[in-house]
Amino acid sequence: MLGPGLLAVLLAVVPEGTTVAVPTGTTPPPAPLEADGARFALHAEVRAGIGALWPRVGNGYWITGASTPLALSVGVNLTKNLIVFADLIDLQMLSPSANDNAQNLNGLDVYGAGLGLKLYLRPRTYFVEGSASLARLQYQGLTDTHFALSETSRWGVLGRVAGGREWAISPRWSLGVAGEVELGKMRTSDTFYNNNYGSDSFTLKGVALLGLATYSAAAPGPTEPEGASSFTPKGFHTHDGLYANVSLGPAWNWVNTRRQDQLYADPDYRLSGRGTRLALSMGYSFANKLIVFAEFSEVQVDDYHLKVDDPQGAGDISFLSWYGVGPGVRYYLMPANVFVSATALISRLTTDNGMPDDSRYGLRRVSGWGATGQLAVGKEWWVASQLGLGAMAEFGLGRLPGADIWLPYTMKMASVLASVSFN
């Protein structure tokens, strides 16, 4: 029986056009893998990020604020580069602001389900996608005339279009970033409390910066060559390319302010306490070991850990929340894998009042949008080729405009965080 090597030599020396019979039992060379995979293979995607929404009714009623989009898509390949999928979407607004008769909203939620298409311009790299969903808008809050405002729209249409890029981290998985635009229209319900704005529908506009994780069973990776077990892949234990980070841990907040009618000789109005800090970051390493990223960050302090020092006894505060979004930079000192980072956030502070104040119960006080700067130092330990676990200490200082009877807020913050980074 001819071996594969002898068979290859024989085929090379036989004149062109001569028929050669391959002996029975000889194994032919394996066919190359189809680079784009099979049709109707499973495709799944998770998206999360930060953004902003602007719901509006006619020309007289609007809501605005930061949003945290979250979505799950599951579909199949129609062609090697075209995906059809079902989409579940949820857009949360943390502390939206509204004009007219609803200045104090506790939260707003837009949720829906629909169908969409995703097109890869080149496999596993650049893409565009979009979906159309049946969606609904719901919000809750307080007004001068409604102590427990709750409004839910009728089902309407929400469309989204996104474009971005993905980076493969395994034969089936990839991580990516994308920019997204959202447009929607939902009719108000019959209980809409003051429908004198020239329209009976919410018109919604939004933008978002997203991070995404994608699984595609139709994207086989290259086969590892024999004897290549000692080969070090590109990007192994280096800080380059796409960067994503999730950090969580305890935080301590100290907030000072004054009433506008308070004498400067009187003590400050103080809030302090221990809460939970969450930070989500996504960016890119444009230079070796130097990363530029966008971050969403928040701190939540509940009534069990909050101390209030009010010289005028205006009432108890049961909950404090701080959140912000903005750019940052991080630099790694290698090979120790120690880093320093700095962020500059546009941020806001909200407090919930559990006692009557200004003739209303449960008043929510909201500062204006201000600046908060943060500095951090930490260390990471590699647990995979491009995945690290770390710990860091972070310090922040902010100055936030006051509202109503309050002068500007000064905020100090310290936190100790555990983190997971992909880079």
Q: Which of 55-59, 98-102, 164-168 has the highest mean pLDDT?
A: 164-168
The yes/no answer on whether domain 241-422 falls in CATH 2.40.160.20 is yes
Which pLDDT does position 29 carry in this prediction? 46
What does the pLDDT look like over 104-163, one tens digit per residue?
777 889 999 999 999 988 766 889 999 999 999 988 876 555 556 778 899 999 999 998
Helix (H, G, I), strand (E, B) or coil at 234: coil
Quick one: what percent of the chain has pLDDT higher than 90? Answer: 27
Domain boundaries, the chain: 42-216, 241-422
Instruction: Look up tokens 């580069």; give the residue.
Output: 81
**Which range, of 257-261, 371-375, 419-423, averages the lowest pLDDT?**
257-261
Q: Answer yes or no: pTM beyond 0.85.
A: no
Helix (H, G, I), strand (E, B) or coil at 392: strand
Quick one: what percent of the chain has pLDDT higher than 70? Answer: 73
Model confidence at 356: pLDDT above 50: no
User: b/e per residue, 113-131, with b = 16+ CB within 10 A?
Assistant: ebebebebeebbeebebbb
Pairing of strands 126-142, 104-120: antiparallel
**Which range, of 118-122, 218-222, 237-241, averages the lowest pLDDT?**
218-222
Model confidence band, residue 195 (pLDDT cutoffs 50, 70, 90): low
Q: Which of 35-49, 265-279, 338-352 has the highest mean pLDDT?
A: 338-352
CA distances from 42 to 76, 118, 343 (A): 5, 13, 39
Which pLDDT does position 363 carry in this prediction? 59
Average pLDDT of the residues of the chain: 78
CA distances from 320 to 157, 349, 350 (A): 35, 7, 6
Asked if the bond preceding 335 is cis, omega within 30° of 0, the reply is yes
284 vs 377, residue with greater confidence: 377
Which pLDDT does position 230 carry in this prediction? 43
Model confidence at 173: pLDDT above 90: no
Phi, psi of 11 (to 5 degrees): -65, -30
Contact 386, 401 (CB under 8 A): no
Model confidence band, residue 341 (pLDDT cutoffs 50, 70, 90): very high
Model confidence band, residue 95 (pLDDT cutoffs 50, 70, 90): confident
The yes/no answer on whether domain 42-216 falls in CATH 3.90.550.10 is no
Instruction: Tell me what the mean pLDDT of segment 72-94 comes to.
Output: 90
Which pLDDT does position 417 carry in this prediction? 93
Spatial separation of the C-alpha atoms in residues 267 and 407, rounded to whole Å: 14
What does the pLDDT look like over 318-332, one tens digit per residue?
778 898 999 999 998
Residues in contact with 130: Cβ distance below 8 Å, sequence separation at least 6, in sequence order: 116, 117, 159, 160, 161, 162
How many degrees, rounded to 5, is the angle at CA 377 between CA 298 and CA 283? 60
**Sequential DSSP letters for 254-276:** EEEE-BTTS-TTSPPEEEEEEEE
Helix (H, G, I), strand (E, B) or coil at 9: helix
What does the pLDDT look like over 286-306, one tens digit per residue?
777 888 999 999 898 876 667
Helix (H, G, I), strand (E, B) or coil at 4: helix
Structure-token pair, residue 113: 């389900």
Domains 42-216 and 241-422 share a fold: yes
Q: Which of 118-127, 224-233, 351-360 has the highest mean pLDDT?
A: 118-127
What does the pLDDT look like over 370-419, one tens digit per residue?
899 999 999 998 877 778 889 999 999 998 887 766 778 899 999 999 99
CA distances from 94 to 141, 254, 287, 317, 324 (A): 12, 21, 34, 19, 11
